[in-house]
Amino acid sequence: MTEQPGERPADHSYTGPDDPQVVALPPAEFAFPGPLRDQLVAAILSGAKTSTTGLVADYEHEGEPLPRAGERAAVLDSDGRRVAVIETTDVRVVPLAEVDLQHALDEGEGDDSVAEWRATHERFWRSPELLAALDDPDFTVDDSTPLVLQRFRLVADLR
């Protein structure tokens, strides 16, 4: 059974990563498989990470719709295993220059300022892996780059 927007199964209804309700959820992949993804997934599972930031350009390139409040997704670890279910609670599209401190802190990555958060994210957005994923070696970010600021809550730890 595929979950429809607005439907909210009880948080305790997921029986594990192979539960049909979990399998039917879209995947939530944070960064690329490897140490950074492992760090981000651990922060989600610990409750330290309750927000994330994506490039509008990435959603457009992938042909994916922007997340919407109420939608759930299965968090994948670096091995492609479903380890958690999250639910989007808020989505904003803002230029890079408008990212606020609370969002940066809620990403749970240890950044203590917007400047530190921005430097960390710009390194990732300029990485060869991301430029290859966007099929745009000349992609750059600046104050006006549109970002998707997504807030979420941990619904289920599937480990």
Q: Mean pLDDT for the chain? A: 94
**Per-residue model confidence (pLDDT) at position 128:** 97
CATH homologous superfamily for the domain 16-157: Sulfate adenylyltransferase (3.10.400.10)
pLDDT band at 5 (very low <50, low <70, confident <90, very high): very low
**Per-residue model confidence (pLDDT) at position 13:** 84
* Contact between residue 120 and residue 111 where contact means Cβ atoms under 8 Å apart: yes
What contacts 34, CB < 8 A, 6 or more positions away? Answer: 78
Residue 4 DSSP label? P
**pLDDT one-digit tens code per residue, 24-50:** 999 999 999 999 999 999 999 999 999
**Per-residue model confidence (pLDDT) at position 11:** 57
Residue 5 DSSP label? T
**Per-residue model confidence (pLDDT) at position 35:** 97
At residue 99's C-alpha, the angle toward residues 88 and 57, to 5°, is 70
Arithmetic mean of pLDDT, 125-146: 97
